[in-house]
Amino acid sequence: MHDYMNFRYMVGNEILLNMKNSDNFRHGELCNSLYELARRTELPANKDLKNIDWEKHEFVKRALNNTIRQLCNFNVF
């Protein structure tokens, strides 16, 4: 059984709340959480979110730092 988080079906706030625990994410979950959050901000309903600096948000910053720290251990597939 595959036990991973699928961020594709989550709304932006759910993704942000789950990023709080990004220390426990697998490599794919780290990448997918950042990718799906970026996709959510491109929706027409979220046009005001383009002015937010996501790198300063506490949970996104933690996920980015975890991604950068673990980048050398990522799979090539």
- What is the total count of domains within the chain? 1
Distances (CA, A) of 64 to 14, 20, 29, 47, 69: 17, 11, 12, 23, 9
What pLDDT, on the 0 to 100 scale, is given for residue 59? 92
Model confidence pLDDT, tens digit, residues 51-62: 778 888 899 999
Q: Is position 2 within any domain? A: no
In this prediction the pTM is 0.81
Identify whether the C-beta of residue 67 lies closer than 8 Å to the C-beta of residue 26: no
1 within some domain = no
d(CA 59, CA 63): 6
* Inside any domain, residue 17: yes
Specify whether the CB–CB gap between 68 and 30 falls below 8 A. no
Range of the domain at 14: 7-73
- pLDDT digits over 11-33, tens only? 888 999 999 999 999 888 999 99
The more confident residue out of 3 and 39 is 39
What's the pLDDT at 4?
A: 81
